[in-house]
Each structure stands twice: as structure tokens, then as C-alpha cells.
Amino acid sequence: MDADVIIVGAGLAGLVAAHELTARGRRVALVEQENAANLGGQAFWSLGGLFLVDTPEQRRLRVRDSFDLAWNDWQGSARFDRLDDEDAWAARWARAYVEFAAGEKRAWLASHGVTFTPVVGWAERGDLRAGGHGNSVPRFHIAWGTGTGVVAPFVRSARRAAGEGLLTIHHRHRVDGLTLTDGAVTGVSGTVLADDDAPRGVASNREETGAFELSAQAVIVTSGGIGGNHEMVRRYWPERLGTAPTNMITGVPAYVDGRMLDISAGAGVRLVNRDRMWHYTEGVRNWDPVWPGHAIRILPGPSPMWFDALGRRLPAPCLPGYDTLSTLEYLRTTPDLAAYDHSWFVLTQKIIEKEFALSGSEQNPDITSGDRKAVLRERVLSKGAPAPVEAFKRHGADFVVAGTLDELVVEMNALTDEPLLDTTLLRTQIEARDLQLANPFSKDAQVQGIRNARRYLGDRLSRTASPHRILDPSAGPLIGVKLHVLTRKTLGGIQTDLDSRALGLDGRPIDGLYAAGEVAGFGGGGVHGYNALEGTFLGGCLFSARAAGQAAAQATA
């Protein structure tokens, strides 16, 4: 045999599985269709947010969290409704993952050198129901080094194992099939692609130069999701989310193509929950893209006003940072909005300085570099917006700036094929919201949320502007941001048991085959159910890949 175990995909999940295997002395062949510059895959580009429960970081900020609260939040978000079928393993994975997040996860990451910034983010604040979707408390822990820092220790492990002869990385090898022998998976076959020295993330050539076959006792599939494949996104777009936008932007590199899902299905693997997916509604076109079509998600604080394409304020819980999929559903199922692919933020300079962050390691150079002083200077002490945010405001195709609302609406209408926005309608809604700020009481859900956020020290210091009128000239200028649907995560995939063994159509494990990471719905074929609590995508890769590597190591002893 060519190795004890073959891993398909050299992203975070593949590297974690390789670490667990080589640490136990197994010989591993890591097969990856991209070049060596892409080691670590999509996770390298992420913000590095991780879902953790009841941590020292939370306690220092006076956040009281517990497993019970987190598990209640997870169940309310996931809404598992296929427990006798597609969610049978997913729900078990979910509980195991929340136990991991409330238990050994932080210490395990620390053992690999991963530490966290002191401010815990409050992502996905929810649908405003105690038993519904969302995080009751801040749980979004950002790693020093962002996603690059989370990937780094496992890249080092891979290079060390390669030097010791335990790991061979087959770059530019595209897997086209799984090899079955007497019902067991015993290897992979595929195509050797021509060398390509494209930078990390940039689409590479697909010129075929030969074929290959590799054999092993077991195969672990860690090939990622479908976010870069708009055709596949449209194919599985769920009816509950209305119609897919005519135009979407992409938050992942082109190699996130979903190929291994159909290849696995062709080998008898059971795919579940393919109608569950996670796309953002706050996407903007990148003025300085790393790869063609590279787009960015805004991570907003709670204060920007959100309007649909026709200039109507979105209803709660479609508020910035609250409920991603409810907002997507509203924008795609409201009858007179289905023809439009965009919505709008309207905010002030005071808000953008305090509240805007951009997803991506490259958009957060202070955190990615681990420069504590720069973080303090840029995010707490600075009187302006962080430099990457200010650059988007100046150069981004979706940003407009004006001194008055009349001028702003003219600029906003110039970004669409026809002038859809009416200044009087916007002014009426903004003035109604501004009237709610005259005293500490309010019937406006968003204003209530802003004040609730500022009760949390982390938000008050670095993520939530002090309440003010949008039309207050001293808070200006006014800013409009055209928002697009940005493709990102796959919530369904290969169904697996708690050892990450891939299941067949009969529900039994397929000998020799494992799956982890996004291709497995981050565990069990859909650990998130219908909704994610954020900070759970990288963590799902870590947790499911660790299980796969440990189980495969034991099976190949």
C-alpha cells in the first residue's frame, strides 16, 4: 500500500486529521488539487472566530455562560426536525460538539499554541426569542493570528511529519473516484494536474497531464463545501429561502467546488441535508481582490439601519448581526423583493468607525500579525475606522458617502439599474428611529438592542457606537452600503457516526471511509441543523477531523 491512510483535501480538517494520524505513527498520503501555496485551504482566509463556552475571556468581561445555556441556544437554532433520518447523527454530533466547546476545546487549542484576543464577540444575537435562534451571550472568540493562526500549528505539524517520512503531500492531484474492494474503500484514483504557481487562493489551471492511483487501509474525505460553485448552490437552494439571487458574490476561493460530494455519493455514501446552507446578506465586492470574484462580508455592529432594495426598513429580527438566515429568507421570499438581489445599510461615520469589521485574515492585519499594540490603537483608541474598513469606504464599489440624505440617495440610486429609492420614504423612517433616542426608553427593537449591547463591556469598548441620531450632522457624513448575497458555507453533506465514519445508503459505516469538516456538514452530515451560531465552522472542522484521525489511527493499528 502507498500509505496507511489517504486524506483527500489539505484544508484545516485535512491537516488536523493528518496531525492525529502522524502523531500516532501512521503513514499518510495527503492528496490536494491545489499547489503548495494553498496549504490550509479556506480556513487560512477566515477571521478565526471560534465558539467557546464559559471561558476565562468571557468571565473577565462578566459574561455568565454555561453548557446548559449554550446547548439550549444550539437546539433553538438548529431546529432538528429529521431526527429519525437525516438528523439522527447530526443531533448527537451537536451535543458532543457543545460539550467539547464547554470542556476541553480551549485547553486543546492552547496545547497547539492557539490563544485568543481579550474581547469576545457577540455574533448571531438571534431571533429575539429565548428558545429560538441565536447566542444568548457573547461566545465568538477570535484567535490571535485569525484563521491563519488557527491553521499554523497544523501546517507546522504537517511539515514536521513530512520531514520524518510519515506524510507525503501530493499537490496538483485531483481525486476523481474512490476505490472499492469487496465493499471497503481502499484508495483513490484521479488526475494529475499541470503545475501552477498561482498565489494562494487564486484559481489554478485544470490542464490534465496524467492519472494516478493510491492505495491505503483507509481514506478520509476533507474536501470542503460548495460555496465556490454557484451552479451547485442553485441546484440545492431550498424552497424555504425563496429563489436564489440572479447575481451572487463569492466568499470562498474557486476550489471550494463540492466535487467530492457527488464522487462520494457515486461510491454509495449517504448524503443528507443538502438543502441546508449558510449564505450571508452583508456581502460587498472587494476593491482589492485576492482572487477573481473575491468578495467580503461585513461584520456589522448593531447600529446601521437596514433597508430593502425599495427603501423599506427591514423588520426584526432582520437586524445587523442578529439572524442571518431569517434576513436571507425575508429578502428572498417577500414577493416584491424577489426581483432584486441587494439591500442597503445606511449609517454614519461615527458608526463605521466603531462598528464595522470585515471578515477575512487579510482584512485584519493587526490581529493576524498578533500585534497587540496595533489592535489597541486601531480598534479601541483610534478616532477613525480601522484602515481596511476606511479603504473599503474610499474605494469600494458598494460604498457611497454624502453630507446630506438627499445627496446620499442620489448616490445610492446611481448604483442600481433604476432609481428605486425615495428620499422622503427613507427620511420618514430614519427620523422615526431617531426620535426613539430622546430618552432611555424605546419601543424600537433595534434601539433596544443597541442599548443592550452597550451593557456588555466588550461591545461598549470596541463594537458599539454610543447611541446617536443617524441624521445628526456631527455624527456624519452619511454612508450607504449596497449589500449582496455572499455564498459561504455548506451545512449538509456526508452522514457520519461519532467516529467520523462515512455511512452508506443502508445507514451502516462503509469500511475504510471517513469524512470530516464541511464535506460532512462539520459532523454527522449537518451538526448545525438549519442555523449556525457562528464561530462554529472552524471548530466543526477541528472537532470532526480530530475524531476522524483518531478513529482511523485506531482502525489501522
Same domain, 20 and 134: yes
Q: What is the rounded CA–CA span in Å between residue 113 and residue 324?
A: 32
Confidence of residue 378 (pLDDT cuts 50, 70, 90): confident
Pairing between β-strand 478-490 and β-strand 342-348 as defined by DSSP bridges: antiparallel
Residues in contact with 478: Cβ distance below 8 Å, sequence separation at least 6, in sequence order: 346, 347, 348, 401, 402, 403, 404, 405, 408, 470, 471
The answer on pLDDT for 381 being more than 90 is no
The letter for the amino acid at 142 is I
Per-residue pLDDT reduced to its tens digit, 426-451: 999 999 999 999 999 999 999 999 99
User: Do residues 46 and 68 both lie within one domain?
Assistant: yes
Q: What is the pLDDT of residues 219-248, one digit of tens each?
A: 999 999 999 999 999 999 999 999 999 999
Report the DSSP pairing between strands 5-8 and 218-221.
parallel
pLDDT digits (tens, 9 = 90+) for 259-306: 999 999 999 999 999 999 999 999 999 999 988 889 999 999 999 999
What one-character DSSP code corresponds to residue 314?
P
Residue 418: which pLDDT band, with cuts at 50, 70 and 90?
Answer: very high
Residues 203, 87, single domain; the answer is yes
Q: What mean pLDDT is predicted for residues 136-161?
A: 98
* H runs (alpha helix) in 293-384: 324-333, 349-355, 365-369, 372-376
Both 314 and 354 in one domain: the answer is: yes
- How much is the mean pLDDT over the chain? 97
- The confidence band for 321, taking pLDDT boundaries of 50, 70 and 90, is very high
Q: Are residues 549 and 476 in the same domain?
A: no
Distance CA 369, CA 123 (A): 23
Let me know whether 146 and 200 are in one domain.
Answer: yes
Distances (CA, A) of 531 to 78, 83, 496, 526: 5, 16, 19, 10
CATH number for position 392: 3.90.700.10
The b/e string for 4-15 (b: 16+ C-beta within 10 A; e otherwise) is bbbbbbbbbbbb
All cell numbers assigned to 336: 416584491
Angle at alpha carbon of residue 165, lines to 163 and 167, rounded to 5° = 90
Cell 473599503 locates to 392
> How many independent structural domains does the chain possess?
2
End residue of a domain, out of 468, 486, 504: 486
Q: CA nearest 482: which of 397, 389, 419, 417?
A: 397
> What are the strands, taking DSSP E only, across 428-508?
478-490, 493-494, 501-503
> End of a domain among 465, 486, 507?
486
CB 271 within 8 A of CB 510: no
* Grid cell digits, residue 296: 467580503
Range of the domain at 412: 279-486
Asked whether residue 26 is domain-assigned, the answer is: yes
Last residue of a domain, one of 430, 451, 486: 486
Q: What is the CATH number of the domain that holds 169?
A: 3.50.50.60
Asked if 467 and 500 sit in the same domain, the reply is no
Determine the distance from the C-alpha atom of residue 400 to the mean position of all C-alpha atoms in its chain, rounded to a whole number: 27
Contact 118, 57 (CB under 8 A): yes
CA distances from 137 to 99, 125, 133, 459, 472 (A): 17, 8, 12, 12, 31
Under 8 Å CB-to-CB from 347, ≥6 apart: which residues?
303, 304, 305, 355, 470, 478, 479, 481
What backbone phi and psi angles, to 5 degrees, belong to 188?
Answer: -140, 160
Residue 242 inside a domain? The answer is no
